[in-house]
Amino acid sequence: MKRKAIFLICFLCISTVVKAADNPVIKISTDNVDLIYKVGGNGRLYQSYLGKHLSHAPDMAYLPTGTEAYVTHGMKDYFEPAIHLLHNDGNPSLLLKYAGHTESQVSPGVKETVITLQDDKYPVTVKMYYVAYSKENLIKTHTEISHREKKPVTLYKYASSMLHLNRERYILTEFSGDWGSEVRTKDVPLEFGKKIVDTKLGSRANMFVSPFFQLSLDGAACENNGEVIAGTVGWTGNFAFVFEVDNDHGLRVISGINPNASEYRLKPDEVFRTPDFYFTYSFNGKGQASRNFHDWARKYQVKDGDKDRMTLLNNWEATHFNFNQEKLVELMDDAVALGVDMFLLDDGWFANKYPRSSATQGLGDWEVTAGKLPDGIGFLTETAKSKGIKFGLWIEPEMVSPKSVLYQKHKDWVIHLPNRDEYYFRSQMVLDLCNPEVQDFVFGIVDNLMSQNPDIAFFKWDCNSPITNIYSTYLKDKQSHLYIDYVRGLYNVLERVKSKYPDLPMMLCSGGGGRSDYEALRYFTEFWPSDNTDPIERLFIQWGYSQIFPAKTMCAHVTSWNRKTSIKFRTDVAMMGKLGFDIKLDDMNEKEKQYCSEAVKNYNRLKPVILEGDMYRLVSPYGNNHTSTMYVGKDNSRGVVFAFDIHPRYAEKTLPVRLQGLDANKTYRVMEINLMPGAASSLPANGKLFSGEFLMTVGIPLFTTQQLHSRVVEIIAAE
Ligand code: DGJ
C-alpha cells in the first residue's frame, strides 16, 4: 500500500514537471552509467548519450541531441528501424513524438522510467520501459505497443530496445556453435552494414547461437580492461540482434523477438509487450560485466536466485533408457555414497502402449511404464526418502512422439503441416502451446505428478526439438503468430507451475544449451549448458556461459565422457558450476569414489564462495594450454582457484597466475584441496601465508607441464 502511495506521488510530481518543461532531458542512471534521452524541438525523442555516469547537471545542455531513440519505418531514416507497422488505411509510416514520462523508485537501488511516445496522426502509442539497477549497473528495458484504430494494425517489426553508439571501433563478441559445441566465442569487427545474430528455432533461443553478446567499444575489451556492453534478451524463442553501422559510422543495436515470419495483427487496445532486453556497461572489461550480470541475476531475476542448490546424481549417462527399479535403487545407493542431495531419474520411465525404451516413442503418454517400474514413482520417492536423499524427475512436456497415444488421439494438438509429410527432429514433434487446451494439458503433466507424488523435489524440464512442420491448427488464419504465441503459451504454463509450486526447483534443459535465457530462468533455478560433458569441452563451454550466467545456474556433471581425463579432472571442472554426477560408481575405483565424496564435502563447504561469490576468469582456455578461474566470497575472506593444464607443450614455460578480488591488506593461507587420497600437494605455495597484495600482484605458480592436470586451491584469510 505504502509503496503504491509513494509511486502515485512520484508519478504525479514527474508528470507535472514534464508538462512544465519544454524540452525534457530524461536520465536513466545506475551508479556508473547514464543513458540520456532528450526531446528535440520537433517533439521527437532522441538518445543523446550512453556512457559513463555524468554528475554535473549543467553539462547536460552541452550534450548533442543525438539519434532518434526508437526509429520508425517510413520516415526520414535510411537504416534499420525499431518499429514498422501498417495502419488500417494502408499507410505504413509512423512518427513518434514524446508525450510524457514517469519515474518511480521501485525499491532501494531500483528505479523505473517509462517514456510514452505517440503518433500525432494515428492513435498509436509506444511506451518504453527502463528499470535501472544502480549497484549492478544493469538496465532492463522493453516496449509496449498499442493503438486505438478501428481494426487490427499489422506489426512487422517491434524491437524491445534500440541503442545508439558513436565510437571509433566496434568489436562484437558472439557466442555460436551447435549441439555439443555451444557458446564458442568469436570476435567480429563491425564495419559498414548489418550483422544479424538471430535464431529461428521456435521453441528455444540457443543452440546455434546464444541470445547474448558483448560489444567492445574503441578496442577489444579484455577481462579487466576496456569498455564493453554486454546484452541479452529474455525470450525463449526466436530472437534477433541487429547491429548496423551507418554512413556516419554510428552503430545502432536493435534487440528483441526475431520478426522473421512473425507479422503480428494487433487488435485495438491490445498491448503488445516485447520481451525484456538487459544490458550492462563496464569500463573495466568483460569480467566486471559478467559480475554485474551474476549479481543482478541472483538478486532479481533467476528463480530462487538467493537460495541454495542441490547436488545430485542423474542416471542418464549411466543407464540411458536401460534401467529398471532395482538398478535405480542401486543408483540411489551411489548417490548416498557420494553424499549428494538428490537422485534424478531421467528419460525412459513412462508410457505403456509405446513404452519409452528409446527416443523414438512414448513422448506425450505420461504414465509410468508398468513393466519397468511396477511400484510406480511413489515407490521411488519413498525409497529415496528412506535413504535420506531427495528425488527428482525428468519430463519433456511440450513434446510428442508420432508413436504415442497422445499423437493418435490429439493430432490437432500437434504443430504440423496438414498437407505435407512430417519431418522430425530427434523423432519427435512439438505440441501447440498457442492452444489454451494444450497449455492445460502441459500444466496438468506437472500438476498430476505432483498431486500423486508430492515428494517429487525437482524437475528436469527438457525440450529436444525446435518447432518443425510449422503450422498451428488452432491459429487458423493467424499462422504468423505461431512463434510468438508458442512462447507466450509456454510462459502461461510456467507461470501456473510457479504459482502452484513456488518452492519446486527445476532444471531447464534442451538437448544441451538450447534454453539459456533470462526470462526462462525466472521459472527455473538452473540450466543444462550442453550435452557435451567432456571436461575439456566444458572448460570452454562454462567459460562462454559464464560471460552472462552465474555458476549457480549452470549444471555441471561428472560423467564418463573423455576417459583420458581423470575423475579428479572431471570433478574439478564440474565443481566450477552446480555440481552433479551422471556416472555409475562401478566405473570408479575405491580411491576415486573416496575422492568424489570428499570433493562433494568440499563443494558444500565452498558453496557460499562458488555459488554466491564473485567470479574472476584468470586465464582463458582460448589460445592457451592452461586455464584458470577463481571465485571469491563477498567478504573477501575466502576464495577458491581452479587451475587446469590442458595440453601443455614439452618444456613449456609456465607463468605464475595473478589472483583477483582479494583484499590487498589481508593475509591469506594457500591450501590445495581436492587431492586424490594419499596424494601430497606439489603446489609450491601450499600451506604458506601471503598478502592479498602479493597474490594479486606477483601471483603464484599454479600450472604444470603435465597433460590433463588439475588443481583446486583454497585461499583462506588468516585470523
Ligand atoms: C537431452 C538432455 O540434454 C539429456 O541430458 C537427457 O535428459 C536426454 N535429453 C534424455 O532424452
Question: What are the mean pLDDT values of the chain's consecutive 10-residue runs (719 residues total)?
Answer: 44 39 88 98 97 96 96 95 98 98 98 97 98 98 98 98 98 97 97 98 94 97 98 98 98 98 98 98 98 98 98 97 97 98 98 98 98 98 98 98 98 97 97 98 98 98 97 98 98 98 97 89 98 98 98 98 97 98 94 98 98 98 97 98 97 96 98 98 98 98 97 95
For the CA of 509, the nearest atom of ligand 1: 3
Fold of the CATH domain 312-604 = TIM Barrel (3.20.20)
In which residue ranges of the chain is CATH 2.70.98.60 found?
A: 26-301
Does the C-beta of 511 come closer than 6 Å to ligand 1? Answer: yes
Whole-angstrom distance, CA of residue 238 vs CA of residue 215 = 21
**What's the pLDDT at 4?**
47
**What's the pLDDT at 22?**
66
What grid cell was written down for 100? 510524457
Does the C-beta of 512 come closer than 6 Å to ligand 1? Answer: yes
Minimum CA distance residue for ligand 1 atom 10:
347
In which residue ranges of the chain is CATH 2.60.40.1180 found?
A: 615-717
Minimum CA distance residue for ligand 1 atom 4:
511
Does the C-beta of 112 come closer than 6 Å to ligand 1? Answer: no
Q: Which residues contact 145 (CB under 8 A, 6 or more apart)?
A: 83, 85, 124, 125, 126, 155, 158, 266, 271, 272, 274
Positive or negative torsion for Cα 579, 585, 587, 589: positive
Does the C-beta of 396 come closer than 6 Å to ligand 1? Answer: no
Does the C-beta of 464 come closer than 6 Å to ligand 1? Answer: yes
Name the burial class of residue 11, with classes exposed (0-12), middle (13-18) and buried (19+) by CB atoms within 10 angstroms of its CB: middle
Does the C-beta of 394 come closer than 6 Å to ligand 1? Answer: yes
DSSP bridge partners of 593? none
Q: Which of 317, 321, 322, 346 to mutate to test the pocket of ligand 1 (most atoms within 8 A of CB)?
A: 346
Quote the distance between the C-alpha of residue 54 and its chain's center. 31
**What's the pLDDT at 19?**
40
Tell how far the Cα of 511 is from the centroid of ligand 1, in angstroms: 5
CATH code at 26-301: 2.70.98.60
CATH architecture assigned to 615-717: Sandwich (2.60)
3-state secondary structure 321-389: CCCCHHHHHHHHHHHHHHCCCEEEECCCCECCCCCCCCCCCCCCCCCECCCCCCCHHHHHHHHHHHCCC
Does the C-beta of 531 come closer than 6 Å to ligand 1? Answer: yes
Minimum CA distance residue for ligand 1 atom 5:
531
Tell how far the Cα of 526 is from the centroid of ligand 1, in angstroms: 15
What grid cell was written down for 279? 544490458
Does the C-beta of 278 come closer than 6 Å to ligand 1? Answer: no
**What's the pLDDT at 513?**
77
Tell how far the Cα of 330 is from the centroid of ligand 1, in angstroms: 21
pTM over 0.85: yes
In which residue ranges of the chain is CATH 3.20.20.70 found?
A: 312-604
Residue 357: how many other CB atoms lie within 10 Å: 16
Whole-angstrom distance, CA of residue 193 vs CA of residue 172 = 14
Tell how far the Cα of 398 is from the centroid of ligand 1, in angstroms: 14
Contact assessment for residue 434 and residue 499, using Cβ atoms and an 8 Å cutoff: no
Whole-angstrom distance, CA of residue 642 vs CA of residue 357 = 39
